[in-house]
Amino acid sequence: MLLFRAAVLAGCIAVASSASAQVTDPNMSCAEYLKISAAAGPTPKTGDATMDKMAAELETKMKDYCTKNPNTKAMEAAAKALGG
C-alpha cells in the first residue's frame, strides 16, 4: 500500500510539473503564479483520465490557496496542495 501511495504521489508531482503554470522559481509569489496560470490557460490533458483529474484537483487547490494568500510563495501553495 505504501508503494502504491508513493507511486500516486510521484504521478501527482509529475502532473503538477507538467501543468500549465509551472512553479519554476522558488521565490515566485502566489500572485505571480495566478497571473502566469491565467495567461497559460487550462492544464493540458495527458490522455490518462486519472492523471488529468489529479492535475485539475491540484491546480484548483493551488489557485484557491494562492487566491487567499497572494503574498505567499507559490512553492508553499504547491506543498499545501500536495498535502504538505
Choose the weakest-confidence range: 3-7, 37-41, 51-55, 65-69: 3-7
- pLDDT tens digits, one per residue of 19-32: 445 788 889 999 99
Residue 14 CA: distances (Å) to CA of 21, 60, 67, 69, 71: 13, 16, 23, 24, 25
- pLDDT tens digits, one per residue of 43-76: 778 888 898 898 889 989 999 999 999 999 999 9
pLDDT of the residue at 8: 46
CA–CA dist 84, 65 (Å, integer) = 13
pTM confidence score: 0.68
